[in-house]
Amino acid sequence: APEWNAQASTGYAKPYILYVGSQDLRKNIGMLLRAFAASEIRRDFSLVLVGALGSMTRSWREFARNMEMEDQVHFAGSVSEAHKAAWYRGAQAVVYPSLVEGFGLPVLEALYFQKPVLTVQDSSMEEAGGPLAHYFPGLDVGAWTRRLNSIPHLAPPKPEALHKHLRQFSTEALWPAWKKIYGLS
């Protein structure tokens, strides 16, 4: 069977920007939607949100409808890991505006798929994204709008830098530290 095509499944002919994560208030999706609404990129791109629907999803759908973006904003909900990988592969860029995270795994996943990543500065995402992600103040709609508009011109991470960054998160790199922290032999 042919590989599932995430872009075709959205029903959009346009390329898309991807968000992966739950749709809770701390994920800052309201700010992302405001920045997307103010952007010029929304004429040519869709915004796809993949992840568990949350308490704010209804409000965010209403906002998208009020801003006449219901054809550009797709709330995909929870998907399988295989489908999530397909969403990553098809994305032009990945955005992760979450304000509170322990680590920010979607940032690392996006880099694994060699996608430009836009995320929040002064947060744990700086560990996950290192020098490869683009960082902005979490609540600065103007900064996010400007960077969204630049997505067509963002290059994917350079392979050498990407491999070096991802290697530090491998089991081989992390296991000795975990053994030491937890007193394992």
Among 12-21, 72-81, 93-102, 123-132, the minimum mean pLDDT is found in: 12-21
Q: Is the pLDDT of residue 11 over 80?
A: no
- The gap between the terminal CA atoms of the chain, to the nearest Å, is 46
> Taking residues 158-185, what's their average pLDDT?
86
* Separation between Cα atoms, residue 46 and residue 67, nearest integer Å: 14
* Separation between Cα atoms, residue 156 and residue 163, nearest integer Å: 13
Q: pLDDT band at residue 60, thresholds of 50, 70 and 90?
A: very high
